[in-house]
Structure 1
Amino acid sequence: MLKAYKTEIKPTKEQIQKINQSIGICRWLYNQYLAKNQELYKQFKEGLIDKKQAFISANDFDKYINNEVKVQDEYSWINKCSSKARNKSICNAETAYKRFFNGKSGFPRFKKKNKQEVKLYFPKNNKTDFRIERHRINIPTLKWVRFKEKGYIPTDKKVVNGTVSQKGNRYFISIIIEEDVYSELNPTKNEGIGIDVGVKNLAVCSNGMTFKNINKTHQVKKLEKKLKREQRKLSRKYESLKLRNKKEKGGTATRQNIQKQIAKVQKLHQKLTNIRTDYINKVINSIVKQNPSYITIEDLAISNMMKNRHLSKAISQQKLYEFRVKLTYKCMIHNIELRVVDRWYPSSKMCSSCGNINKNLKLKDRIYKCECGVVLDRDINASYNLKNAKIYKVA
């Protein structure tokens, strides 16, 4: 099966310049593709063209760039980026636009510098591409680049492709490798587990395990407080720049200070993301180590939950979608059946003992009380119901 390895790299100054330049070109092509389709869609809405003409494919747009745009002297800088990386960015834009065109999502956002993540895709075309040694890797067009973490990526496996990305002032390489993955767990399984995920606690399991919300810890709160201060500093610098006259001396220095402050903010964002991701990995590892015969979770509508302005920030910080994706992957490796219950299943409102449904239960009611005499924490009660659910889909 295919397995991904992601690690930080230490490119030289010349390589950093090449990466930044290529990322800028890919971002420009992504935005140009969306702008072109947006223009065609407006013409379709006005009745000037039919629906078939209101969409330009990635292949046709790539031909348009190569034959009509790139040949002009003012756009010769497009050739400074790998053709495969350029083509992949256009294909990514096509995938996003198709979802909008077919009514599955809203119009894709245009990517802005220092805000949206743009990645450089490199396929393996030659034998020398993505040759891996303990301390370095040979990336197409970038040549040898050193690792920060030595010996993490295996050197004796077949590499399919790789992607270079940038976050703040740090650079990462993600490698897709063909590898045989074996489960280290005992083939004899234990009883199943129901998991209720939420905002108060990340996960409450039916076997008694409770994993708290990492965002309520002192470490995360301290970093968030520091992030607010640095964001206020950045906002003040922007306001100061607006008030200055462009002809004044020191304007360049002010812009350099803004870039430094942006790097500080991005570094804090990345640190918070790393803490939350690491916590999710440890929680999933702890659950899978129980070696259950099955795991049952609820199919939550995260996008609908985010519409609640009082809870949207807390929900996004919990990274519930990432939790489900990684849990699905771990269950597949260890041959554990992952059951997904419908989002309308009354796991919180139903009594785990007698099956009675309390329709008047509100979100603020943290204790579930039933007429049969059962008094339980609502999350534990929900985990029991998920464990015993009879109607489900297997992920």
Structure 2
Amino acid sequence: MNGQTPARHYYKKLVPSLILILNCIQFLSHPTKADPILLAFVFAVYLAFIWIIPYVASTAVSLSIFVGLWILTVFLWAVSGQEQSAAYFLIVFLMIYAAFRLPSRLSLIFTACLIGGNILLLSSHGGSLETIISNFSIMIGLYVFFSSMRFRREARKEAERNHAELAKMHVQLEHAHKELQKAHAELQEASVLSLRYAVLEERTRIARDIHDSIGHELTSVIVQLQSLPYILKSSKEDSEKVIQNVLSVARECLQEVRSVVHQMGRSESMVGLTALRGLIHQVEERSGLHVSLDTAGLSEESWPPNVSETIYRILQEALTNIIRHADASHAAAVISNDKSHLYITITDDGPFTGSLTYGFGLIGMKERAEKAGGSLTFSAVQPSGLKIELSLPLMTTNKEQKDEQR
């Protein structure tokens, strides 16, 4: 039924059926030269045609039925003689139905044949030129009117189909968009967890190194110190040897601690731009966030250790916050310096517009910058995104130099 409701489907067959029945009664109530039984039979065939044709799927079969009805109607016309009103009505009815049921080009050809045949019949039965022209004009006008109705109906149905398809596509796109948002959120969370795992893995390695080396040596120191009171009572020479061993092991422990601390500083903060580029490369690989580094305004790359460590930690925390909270696809870091200060600006293209909530990460970044003698500010960029501006002094204090030497 092509998606139509049953009531509407039957309505489309009931209306033409009533038209046929009423006209059949009218024609039978007036005496004609046609046999009333033949006339009733022809109308009955047309009535059956109305209820059967919607279920015919083949165009060739439909056309055959239309041609058969036309031949039957011509036969009625020939039998009727001069009284051809019923036959003419049925031909017009058949033409209108063809305009709705047959394909556009085929209905046009069939209508042309009907009009041509009608003209021939009128001519053969002595019809006047005025009658022929009148019938021709009426049939042409009716065909154009009902064909335009059909075209408007098909255009409306096509628009409804397109609208339904667009609505369906919109739902699918909305569902795909939600899936992409979900996947993006999961990727961001996975990126943050990956960065945390890298930090945890490094801490685990350091803890393992301290446990395996320093822990073993300190255990040896404890054992020797515990035995020292007994050795002092028995032999002075042995006690001096134990003391020397303890001192030697303690020095080795101190050297090991310095080595571990030095490796931590060198791997994370003491190599300047190399460490920052490594950090950015690591973030891009693990999160998909594109990070650009601009050092065009940098006149030198040798920074004091505290400055290097502060920059590394702040950049690390800033990128982590961007991945977790900014919903950004691109971040940019610009580093420059003058004789006394080093400057770094970090921006992202997230949706931030001005309302900033200070969490643990942002507070920690600010405290770290102030501890190093610098300043850290946050501001919005146009049209959206967050800008972090860091300023650090390049000159270290005497206290910091002593701490580094120790």
Which protein is richer in strand relative to its size?
Answer: 1
Tell me whether the two structures share a fold, i.e. TM-score over 0.5: no
Larger radius of gyration: 2
TM-score range, shorter chain: under 0.3
Relative contact order higher in (CA < 8 Å, ≥ 6 apart) = 1
TM-score normalised according to structure 1 size: 0.19
Which protein is richer in helix relative to its size?
Answer: 2
